[in-house]
């Protein structure tokens, strides 16, 4: 028997033991990572994608249908069309203005719980709006705030939850999700116009509320995340640039979508807005339907890269399409009147 203590062992022996422990730990970590990643790019992820796309189909459809509803409300009440546009703008603004708080809610409660809360508020806002169609202040609360906050609680989980389930097909998954929202914007506008003409704005609000509950609540229950991930949302790499983009994009998009029905009413007459607006929105179908898949495919070309460079081709594509639209708008404006500040 040797009285040699562990501390008296030669250093080569200690290094060998330490190296063996490190290799064993690395193998265990690798096995654990493989077990936790086997579900990625699988059928479970496509369930989350389908749920997110279904929610955005109805939600974005209702967002873009507000122009039809506000035209009918203005025609049957003493509320001005211009004032009603601010109700829709308020609801739309919550999609981005509360994202920071929604991100904290996702980290604390999870995607499913946050999306369920959003679905409840979405349906509640539209359902209560059906009884206050002649009260402007109440519409600001019901559609502008309640529905708007519900949208903010919905769109962030729908946008980020599918990313947790994919590595190789993130571009395709994102394209399917936002493609659902784009398709809903085109389809729901036509459906809303038909309902307003047949059953009126109050019952249209009720139908939309029940649709939001019937689709978004079950979809929210399916919005889970992989067991190996924590409640999180993607980290921001360039907060300053993103903030500037959000402000400029928000001002531009908000002004365009809010003023579109008002401009049509002033050009074609308020009584003809209900007939002209669906025709104009019908022309947006091709952009809504093909734009998102094209951008998603451009993003997919980046492979497994996750830095900001992966998004640049899609951003260049979107910027180029917007620039072309500006050129055509300026040409049409100059043909009507060379003075760009003259009212026509």
What domain range is 223 assigned to? 40-306
Say how many Å lie between the first and final Cα of the chain, rounded.
106
Whether 16 has a pLDDT exceeding 50, the answer reads no
pLDDT per position as a tens digit, 251-294:
676 666 666 666 776 677 766 666 676 667 666 667 766 776 67
Instruction: Give kind and range of the element (H or E) at residue 88.
Output: helix 81-97
Render pLDDT for 47-89 as a digit per residue (tens, 0 to 9): 999 999 999 999 999 998 888 898 889 888 888 877 888 898 8
Tell me 130's DSSP state. T
**Helix/strand/coil percent split, the chain, to 5:** 80, 0, 20
Q: What's the confidence (pLDDT) of residue 255?
A: 64
The pLDDT tens digits of the residues spanning 145-192 come to 999 999 999 998 998 888 888 877 777 787 788 888 878 887 888 899
Rounded Cα gap, residues 173 and 35, in angstroms: 22
Q: How many C-beta neighbours within 10 Å does residue 8 have? A: 8
Give the angle 250-256-258 at the CA atoms, nearest 5°: 95
**Mean pLDDT of the chain, nearest integer:** 78
- The pLDDT score that the predictor gives to residue 270 is 62
Instruction: Look at residue 239 in the predicted model and tell me its pLDDT.
Output: 60
In a domain, 15, yes or no: no
Mean pLDDT (whole number) for 102-118? 92
CA distance 182 to 190: 13
The mean per-residue pLDDT over the stretch 103-131 comes to: 94
Does residue 74 lie within any of the structural domains?
yes
Judged against a pLDDT cut of 80, whether residue 40 lies above it is answered with: no
What are the pLDDT digits (tens) for 141-154? Answer: 999 999 999 999 99
CATH of the domain at 154: 1.20.1250.20
Cβ–Cβ under 8 Å, residues 160 and 172:
no
Contact at 8 Å (CB) between 195 and 49?
Answer: no
Residue 13: pLDDT band (50, 70, 90) is very low
* Interval 314-320 mean pLDDT: 84
Name which of 16-20, 40-44, 325-329 the model is least confident about.
Answer: 16-20
DSSP, res 110? -
Q: What is the sign of the dihedral through the CA atoms of 223, 229, 231 and 235?
A: negative
Q: Is residue 165 part of a domain?
A: yes
What is the helix (H) or strand (E) element at residue 135, kind and residue range?
Answer: none
Confidence (pTM): 0.68
CB atoms closer than 10 angstroms to residue 290: 12
- 132: pLDDT strictly greater than 90: yes
Q: Is residue 322 part of a domain?
A: no
State mean pLDDT over 184-208.
90
Inside any domain, residue 317: no
Q: Which tokens go with 325?
A: 């639209």
The two structure tokens encoding residue 26: 């690395």
**7 pLDDT higher than 60:** no
Domain membership flag for residue 27 = no
pLDDT tens-place string over residues 217-258: 999 999 887 765 555 555 555 666 666 776 777 667 666 666
Tell me the three-class secondary structure of 315-336, residue by residue. Answer: HHHHHHHHHHHHHHHHHHHHHH
2 part of a folded domain: no
- Residue whose pair of structure tokens reads 């402000």 in the numeric block: 247
Please state, in angstroms and rounded to a whole number, the distance separating the CA atoms of residues 326 and 17.
69
Domain count, the chain: 1
Residue 27 confidence class, pLDDT cut points 50, 70, 90: very low
């Amino acid at each position: 028997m040797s009285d040699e203590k562990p501390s008296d062992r030669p250093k080569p022996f200690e290094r060998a033991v330490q190296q063996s422990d490190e290799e064993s730990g690395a193998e265990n970590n690798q096995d654990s990572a493989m077990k936790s990643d086997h579900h990625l790019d699988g059928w479970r992820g496509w369930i989350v994608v389908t749920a997110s796309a279904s929610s955005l189909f109805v939600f974005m459809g209702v967002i873009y249908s507000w122009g039809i509803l506000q035209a009918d409300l203005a025609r049957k009440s003493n509320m001005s069309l211009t004032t009603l546009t601010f109700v829709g703008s308020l609801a739309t603004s919550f999609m981005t203005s509360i994202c920071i708080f929604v991100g904290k809610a996702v980290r604390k409660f999870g995607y499913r719980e946050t999306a369920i809360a959003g679905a409840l508020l979405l349906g509640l806002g539209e359902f209560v709006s059906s009884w206050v169609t002649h009260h402007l202040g109440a519409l600001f609360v019901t559609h502008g705030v309640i529905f708007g906050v519900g949208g903010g609680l919905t769109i962030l989980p729908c946008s980020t939850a599918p990313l947790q389930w994919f590595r190789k097909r993130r571009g395709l998954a994102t394209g399917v999700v936002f493609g659902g929202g784009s398709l809903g914007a085109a389809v729901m506008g036509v459906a809303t116009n038909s309902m307003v003409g047949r059953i009126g704005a109050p019952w249209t609000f009720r139908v939309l509320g029940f649709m939001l509950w019937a689709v978004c609540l079950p979809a929210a229950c399916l919005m889970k995340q992989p067991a190996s991930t924590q409640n999180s949302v993607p980290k921001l790499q360039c907060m300053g640039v993103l903030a500037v983009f959000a402000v400029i994009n928000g001002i531009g998009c908000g002004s365009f979508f809010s003023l579109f029905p008002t401009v049509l009413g002033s050009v074609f007459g308020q009584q003809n807005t209900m007939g002209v607006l669906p025709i104009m929105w019908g022309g947006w179908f091709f952009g809504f339907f093909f734009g998102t898949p094209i951008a998603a495919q451009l993003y997919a070309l980046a492979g497994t890269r996750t830095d900001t460079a992966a998004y640049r081709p899609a951003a260049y594509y979107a910027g180029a399409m917007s620039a072309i639209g500006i050129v055509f708008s300026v040409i049409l404006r100059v043909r009507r009147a060379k003075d760009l500040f003259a009212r026509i």
